[in-house]
Amino acid sequence: MLSSKKKLWLAMATAVLAVSGLAHAGYKQDSQAFVGPGFAGGALGSIRSSSDTLQFADVIVRDNTWAWLVVVDANGEAASCTTTDANLIIAASAVSPGSYIYFEFDKHGECSSIEVRNNSYHTTPVL
Amino acid sequence: MSSRSIPIALYAAAAAVALLLGLALGGGALFVRAASRSKSPEIERLGQLQQTLEKQGQLLERLGRERAERERRPLEAAGVAEPLGSPAVAEAPAAPSPLSAIEAPTPAVAEPSIEQLELEQASRELLEAAVKEGAWRDSELLQFSKHFRRLTRLQQAGLAQSLSLAINERKIRVDPRRMPF
């Protein structure tokens, strides 16, 4: 038979486990870096938290005059594009640490499309 | 002054003018011949600068064309504008130049100075060297970064695009520890 002290400890442990479980609830989606012909993307949080040391993503917006994006996947494959288009620069400026990014580019290395998703299910980077 | 002395003075003056003209022409011809025989470093540098300016012009023109095209597409989709080449466009007043199309939203873009053109040329050479090697050397990377910061935004965009192209063509490795800008 458990003593009342042990029962108290057991109750507290169960409560802690339950609360920690709740803290991680909600739909989550992992999106590692991907690179294809003329496109690339991934979620910054997933890329940061990936187990390999190759993946990374970088978005540079310079004085709203040009933007540069690069993504490297787990195999070391890289894709990059640059834009001076005002609308695409606005899109690139919306990137935050928890963003999912996807971009397309032409054969000259110029961005033709930049998509930025800021949502609840792409995890923010773990520092 | 006697009546005979006038023609002599005229002849003398004409001869002097002819002599001066001859000297000037001869000197010019000699200069041109010398210049064409051996190009001085300054002339070569001017040639390089001219090439850079031409490249800049081409880039500006292309960016402007593409922007104008992008801006036209939604209007066409909405039925506001006719496609290019249609009679409505042919009769329309002159469209803004491609340069004005990209200058309007980017007031920070300034004309590059001669020094900036030289820095851009040097940066391109550094980038080419890195592409040849497949990666940046420390000294090249440092120099490139220094030059890059002093360029106009448009020059920076041009170089960034060249780097993007090199990355996409697998000609250079990209490493977050060794970013050029």
- What pLDDT sits at residue A124? 83
* Residue B34 distance to chain A (closest CA, Å): 42
pTM above 0.80, yes or no: no
- For residues A118 and A91, give the distance between their C-alpha atoms in angstroms, rounded to a whole number: 11
Kindly provide the b/e burial profile for residues A43-76, where b requires at least 16 CB atoms within 10 angstroms of the residue's own CB: bbbbbbbbeeebbbbebebbebbbbbbbbbbbee
- For residues B82 and B67, give the distance between their C-alpha atoms in angstroms, rounded to a whole number: 17
* Nearest CA among A125, A120, A114 for reference residue A40: A114
Residue A99, Cβ neighbours under 10 Å: how many? 20
Q: Please report the residues numbered 160 through 179 in chain B whose beta carbons come closer than 8 angstroms to any beta carbon of chain A.
A: 160-168, 170, 173-174, 176, 179
The pair of three-digit structure tokens given for residue B118, joined into one six-digit string: 């030289």
Helices B114-133/B153-168 angle, 10° precision: 10
The pair of three-digit structure tokens given for residue B28, joined into one six-digit string: 């010019």
CB A99 within 8 A of CB A93: no
The confidence band for A55, taking pLDDT boundaries of 50, 70 and 90, is: very high
- For residues B151 and B159, give the distance between their C-alpha atoms in angstroms, rounded to a whole number: 10
The pair of three-digit structure tokens given for residue B155, joined into one six-digit string: 């020059």
Residue A105 in contact with partner chain B when CB distance is under 8 A: yes
Would you mind telling me the total number of residues written for chain A in this entry?
A: 127
Radius of gyration over every alpha carbon of chain A, rounded to an integer in angstroms: 21
- What pLDDT sits at residue B10? 58
The confidence band for A117, taking pLDDT boundaries of 50, 70 and 90, is: very high
* Residue B166 distance to chain A (closest CA, Å): 8
- What pLDDT sits at residue B130? 96
CB A126 within 8 A of CB A49: yes
Per-chain mean pLDDT for chain A: 90
Which position has the higher pLDDT, B68 or A106? Answer: A106
Residue B157, Cβ neighbours under 10 Å: how many? 24
Average pLDDT over residues A83-91: 98
Indicate yes or no: CB of A81 within 8 angstroms of CB of B164: yes
- What pLDDT sits at residue A6? 74
3-class DSSP state of A43: strand
Average pLDDT over residues A14-32: 72
Looking up tokens 């466009």 gives B89
Q: Which amino acid is at B52?
A: T
Q: Which amino acid is at B29?
A: A
The pair of three-digit structure tokens given for residue B176, joined into one six-digit string: 């977050």
- For residues A52 and A45, give the distance between their C-alpha atoms in angstroms, rounded to a whole number: 14
According to DSSP, the residues that pair with A116 across neighbouring strands are A101
Which position has the higher pLDDT, A5 or B97? Answer: A5
- Chain centroid to Cα B88, Å, comes to 35
- What pLDDT sits at residue A5? 74
Distances (CA, A) of A87 to A78, A115, B131: 24, 11, 30
Per-residue pLDDT tens digits for A69-81: 999 999 999 999 9
Which parts of chain B register pLDDT below 70?
1-109
- What pLDDT sits at residue B21? 61
Partner-chain residue, chosen from A70, A81, A85, that has the shortest CB–CB distance to B174: A70
Sorted by sequence, the CB contacts under 8 Å of residue B50 that are 6+ apart come out as: none
Indicate yes or no: CB of B168 within 8 angstroms of CB of A109: yes
Q: Which amino acid is at A16?
A: V
